[in-house]
Amino acid sequence: DNLELSYVTPSTNSLALAHKSVDKFNFFLTEHQVSGKGRRGRSWVSKFGDNLLMSAACRVPRPLHQVSVLSLWSAVACYNAIKSLGVREIGIKWPNDIYVNGKKVAGILLEAKQSTEGYTHLAVGMGINCNQLDKNVFIGQPWISLREAIGGYVDRNFLAAAVIEELVNCFTVAFSKPDRLIELWHDRDIYLGQNVCVLAGDDGEISGVHQGITPEGLLILGTDTGEHYYNAGEVSLRG
Ligand code: BTN
């Protein structure tokens, strides 16, 4: 009773954001999105029936300004689910892109709105390229599907079940042992310790060494002028 499937919808994140979840997670899955949303105002394009397009709706006991770390926890969950299919060469690019062999395989969009006092309503959206092979689909960045990575057809039902289980587990740990994030993250981050570039809107590009994340999920960049901290909502990262 907490799973809703559709053939076509504007965006599963919009469905999840409009849903009134209280104590449990509700999941929305679709075969096609007419206006799929990506991070930073971009769109998310996916061929009908090929991929996993899903969003979780939930209410969390945190004020609105403290929920962005949950997008990193969602990335850990998505990574773990994909890994359980036996995919190698997988990693996370801060804050929440999943990469296989240097190409994007999945993206996550966390949207939040203020709920009752002290609570926030979340939509955790995941787009995972499963069986899409058609390289004519315009995506605007190098991408790969799990089918290419595994060399075989991906059972989307199996993957969806794994994502749901991992997400529920990861959110439980996020609230009970939040400090565990750093270790989990550092084991999975593809650019940790490497030279990277942060694109910070009006501030232009800042290069430095990716030194890891804080418990709040901020990126720590070591530069000539010292350590700088970046929030996931404000910047993007290049390797
Ligand atoms: C990104 O990498 O930019 C995030 C992409 C998130 C896409 C998913 S697909 C399911 C859910 N519904 C949306 O409209 N977006 C997310």
**Residues pairing with 143 in the sheet:** 104
Is 104 among the catalytic positions?
yes
- Residue (of 126, 128, 167) closest to 149 by Cα position: 128
**What radius of gyration do the chain's Cα atoms show?**
17
How much is the pLDDT for 73? 98
Condensed to tens digits (0 to 9), the pLDDT of residues 120-157 reads: 999 999 999 999 888 877 777 889 999 999 999 999 99
| Res 59 pLDDT > 90 | yes
pLDDT, greater one: 164 or 141: 164
Q: Which atom of ligand 1 is nearest to the CA of 33?
A: 14
pLDDT band at 79 (very low <50, low <70, confident <90, very high): very high
Lowest pLDDT segment from 37-41, 72-76, 145-149: 37-41
Q: What angle do CA 104, 150, 26 make, to 5 degrees?
A: 65
> Among 39, 62, 93, 156, which one carries the catalytic annotation?
39
pLDDT band at 116 (very low <50, low <70, confident <90, very high): confident
Q: Which atom of ligand 1 is nearest to the CA of 30?
A: 10
> Among 103, 104, 147, 180, which one carries the catalytic annotation?
104
Pocket of ligand 1 (CB under 6 A): 11-13, 33, 36-39, 42, 44, 53-55, 97, 107-109, 125-127
pLDDT, greater one: 135 or 166: 166
How much is the pLDDT for 137? 75
Determine the distance from the C-alpha atom of residue 109 to the mean position of all C-alpha atoms in its chain, rounded to a whole number.
Answer: 6
Tell me the best of 32, 37, 143 to mutate to test the pocket of ligand 1, counting ligand atoms within 8 Å of each CB and taking the most: 37
Is 24 among the catalytic positions?
no
Identify the structural domains of the chain with CATH numbers, from first to last. Answer: 3-188 (3.30.930.10), 195-238 (2.30.30.100)
ipTM summary value: 0.99
**What's the CA gap between 9 and 54, in Å, rounded?**
11
| Res 189 pLDDT > 90 | yes
CA of 54 to the centre of ligand 1 (A): 8
| Res 41 pLDDT > 90 | no
The two three-digit tokens of residue 148, written as one number: 């290419």
CA of 222 to the centre of ligand 1 (A): 30
- Mean pLDDT value across residues 219-223: 96
Pairing status of strand 205-213 against strand 195-199? antiparallel
| Res 5 pLDDT > 90 | yes
Helices (H), the chain: 12-18, 69-83, 146-150, 156-176, 180-188
Q: What angle do CA 46, 52, 57 make, to 5 degrees?
A: 110
Tell me the best of 53, 124, 237 to mutate to test the pocket of ligand 1, counting ligand atoms within 8 Å of each CB and taking the most: 53
pLDDT band at 112 (very low <50, low <70, confident <90, very high): very high
Is 39 among the catalytic positions?
yes
**What's the chain's length in residues?**
239
SS3 35: coil
